[in-house]
Amino acid sequence: MLEARLQTGALLKKVLEAIKELITDANFDCSDNGIALQAMDNSHVALVALLLRHDGFEPYRCDRSLALGVNLVSLSKVLRCAGNDDIITLKADDTGDVLSLTFENTDNDRISEYELKLMDIDSEHLGIPETAYDAIVQMSSNEFARICRDLQVLSDSVQIDVTKEGVKFAAKGELGSGSVTLKQNSNVDKEEDSTTIELNQNVSLNFSLKYLINFTKATALSGRVSLSMSSEVPLLVEYKMESGYIRYYLAPKIGEDV
């Protein structure tokens, strides 16, 4: 039995926007700890790990672990019927085959109820090891989205170089080449926009821009994004929410420029 009430429905809408392009169907693994989702995209290049911790809901109740197989496109369609300020309640029975959603508006004079049929999804759950990354860049999520968008004009892949001085995003294509460099700054006035770098070792890695742009769909969820990198290890792009996170993993491009 799952019962989870979310005060700001917009959060769930944004979460769905952030993953539905990448993944079509996935299991929401509900446990005492909260609602989690882990899935690879269709081509097995990227992996999404989502966690909505129990304390983000009020109340949250789940006494037996449940896997709710959901078609994300359908779910986001249903969520479109909810207002941004609506309170959303998710409910599911241990044995039932539907996820029921209730949307209440703030004046409490409109209640809509939807039931979404669940699917049986076989998913391979991957264990993601704790990794000590060579470089961790924290930056404004809007800035990251803009850089990806801008560089897409030139190429479908981006090279990210991280040094002590700053982080450089560079793209090279038939049209020509371009790059954006962000210097490490600790602007106290505008902490939201600052770029900070934790570095053990310089890194220089290539990633598919198409996927990165897909990841930036989560920009609305957090003002900050962190990029964690080590050579020959998937890039971790993390958007932290108030009680939870959305993490994207992207396998590095191999041997493209060689």
Footprint of another protein (CB under 8 A): 1, 24-25, 31-33, 40, 42-47, 54-55, 59-61, 63-65, 67, 94-97, 120-129, 156, 208, 233-234, 249-256
Least Cβ distance, residue 55 to another protein (angstroms): 8
Contacts for 49 with CB less than 8 Å, ≥ 6 apart: 36, 37, 38, 128, 245, 246, 247, 248, 249
Look at residue 19 and give its three-state secondary structure.
helix
Alpha carbon distance 87, 102 (integer Å): 8
Alpha carbon distance 37, 44 (integer Å): 16
Residue 144 near residue 152, CB atoms below 8 Å: no
Least Cβ distance, residue 54 to another protein (angstroms): 5
Unique residue bearing structure tokens 């039931």: 115
Q: Assign residue 9 a region (left: φ > 0; alpha: ψ between -120 and 50; beta: otherwise).
A: alpha
Least Cβ distance, residue 1 to another protein (angstroms): 5
Residue number with CB closer to another protein (94 or 165): 94
Residue number with CB closer to another protein (109 or 130): 130
Residue number with CB closer to another protein (144 or 211): 211
Residue number with CB closer to another protein (32 or 192): 32
Residue 202 near residue 222, CB atoms below 8 Å: no
Least Cβ distance, residue 126 to another protein (angstroms): 4
Question: End-to-end CA distance of the chain, in Å?
Answer: 53
Residue number with CB closer to another protein (174 or 255): 255
Least Cβ distance, residue 212 to another protein (angstroms): 12
Closest Cα partner for 241 from 217, 258, 216, 224? 224
Least Cβ distance, residue 44 to another protein (angstroms): 5
